[in-house]
Amino acid sequence: MTDTRCWFHCHAATMKGGHYSVIEDAAILARGERIAWIGPRDVLPPGDCQAVDLGGAWVTPGLIDCHTHLVFAGERSAEFELRLEGASYAEIAAHGGGILSTLRATRAASEEQLLDGALRRARQLLRDGVTCLEVKSGYGLDLPGERKQLRVARRLAERLPLTVRTTCLAAHAVPPEYAGRADAYIEHVCTELLPALVDEGLVDAVDAYCEHLAFSPEQVERLFRAAEALGLPVKLHAEQLSALGGTRVAARHRALSADHLEYAGEADVVALAKAGTVAVLLPAAFYLLDESRQPPVEALRRHAVPMALASDLNPGTAPVLSLRLMLAMACTSFGLTAEEALAGVTLHAARALGLADDHGSLEPGKYADFVAWDIHRPAELAYWLGGELSRRIVFHGKEVSH
Ligand code: NIG
Ligand code: FE
């Protein structure tokens, strides 16, 4: 039997170049795990294949969630209630809540317990057609804790039809053992924790939280030099709650992405453009923290900085179980077009993970990861709020069901 499959009777929003780049009445040919050919059906090259009629569906690349913290234990709805009563995220963190409360729960959980919770959340995202996911550590903040989180992230890819990229976010907060000694903690991460996790093959990239309630630009600089010495790409939570200068540190180190960016200004955007760094926008955290300052979308467009969109799935600022909902929120809250939003969870998200050679658009040579949606126009993906759209999902050339 041939390992060539052909999907036809569909329209394709290929997202080539970060635009819809539509092929009407398209056919997609996959050989094994990769796309061999895509184009108008009437010029489909002849040959043997297993043919699948998609019934007039719209096909998009599989969605990519390029910023999640989905491996954690516990939940923080009590903090949500405190914020509704007027407490700020920073005040809650200063009183031992926030990241440190998830740290306590995550350290106490077994690897199997963490895996159970992570699988449950990942399956929710998969229902929206997600085929690739980034997962950060950052709730262990010591070697056993960070290792446990990253191992769970790796195991997700063994259990689900999903590409997983792991990011070490040991510089997420100062753990209790190092209270008041942030520099010493960063030194420990650079010289012991990170090298050990890299040796174990658990780390694809390094991230940090650059904020007054976490780490300074100088401390991030130190971490990024260590990451580079280990041959790892970097990314950064930057300019989320204040303008601290993290974005420019990220650009100086040619980071894959700078994420959040509500307080970034024009000079920061210019630096991102020069460095080829992707801006990752996170509308759920913006919404949940009731932030009034918007990321500089107009400047990002003017300087042609690619904009990705992600869930930021985490128990504090973004308990998100739908990536598709982020498209709607980015359009309404940040003024993205529906096309920019879809590019943000496909091609630009792939770039934010350093995966654009193999993922993010429907082009020959890339993985045959795609979703056939039962919709009339691609903009419907940013239009419906929640729920489950009827669709078929193909991962690495094979139809999957969830
Ligand atoms: O991306 N900013 C830091 N990290 C998360 C929040 C994590 C938490 O509160 O647990 C974020 O918003
Ligand atoms: Fe985050």
Q: Is 317 annotated as a binding residue?
A: yes
Judge whether residue 247 has pLDDT over 70: yes
ipTM: 0.94
pLDDT for the residue numbered 64: 98
Residues bordering ligand 2, an ion, CB closer than 5 Å: 312
Question: Residue 161 Cα, ligand 1 centroid: separation in angstroms?
Answer: 26
Judge whether residue 401 has pLDDT over 90: no
Residues 84-112, mean pLDDT to the nearest whole number = 95
> Is 0.90 topped by the overall pTM?
yes
Atom of ligand 1 minimally distant from the CA of 72: 10
- pLDDT, tens digit (0-9, with 9 covering 90-100), for 148-166: 999 999 999 999 999 999 9
Q: Is 163 annotated as a binding residue?
A: no
Ligand with smallest separation from the Cα of 98: 1
Beta-carbon contacts of residue 348 (< 8 Å; ≥ 6 apart): 18, 278, 306, 307, 308, 309, 360
In which band, very low, low, confident or very high, does the pLDDT at 1 lie, cut at 50, 70 and 90?
low
Enumerate residues lining ligand 1, CB below 6 A. Answer: 69, 98-99, 102, 209, 237, 240, 285, 312, 314-317
Atom of ligand 1 minimally distant from the CA of 259: 1
Domain boundaries, the chain: 4-61+362-400, 63-352
- pLDDT, tens digit (0-9, with 9 covering 90-100), for 35-72: 999 999 999 998 899 999 999 999 999 999 999 999 99
Ligand with smallest separation from the Cα of 235: 2
**132: which strand partners?**
64, 163
Residues 314-325, mean pLDDT to the nearest whole number = 97
DSSP string over 141-158: -SHHHHHHHHHHHHHHHH
Q: Is 316 annotated as a binding residue?
A: yes
For the chain, the average pLDDT equals: 97
Q: Is 387 annotated as a binding residue?
A: no
Residue 31 CA to residue 125 CA, distance in Å, equals 27
Look at the block and give the residue holding tokens 């997983």. 164
Of the residues 72, 99, 136, 263, which should be mutated to test ligand 1's pocket, given the most ligand atoms within 8 Å of the CB?
99
Ligand with smallest separation from the Cα of 136: 2
Fold exhibited by the domain 63-352: TIM Barrel (3.20.20)
Q: How far is CA 75 from CA 125, 311, 337, 351, 364, in A?
A: 18, 16, 33, 31, 42
Question: Residue 394 Cα, ligand 2 centroid: separation in angstroms?
Answer: 28
CATH-assigned architecture of domain 4-61+362-400: Roll (2.30)
Judge whether residue 263 has pLDDT over 70: yes
Judge whether residue 135 has pLDDT over 80: yes
* CA atoms within a 13 Å half-sphere pointing along the CA-CB vector of 159: 15
pLDDT for the residue numbered 2: 77
Q: Is 172 annotated as a binding residue?
A: yes
Residues 249-254, mean pLDDT to the nearest whole number = 98
Residues 319-327, mean pLDDT to the nearest whole number = 97
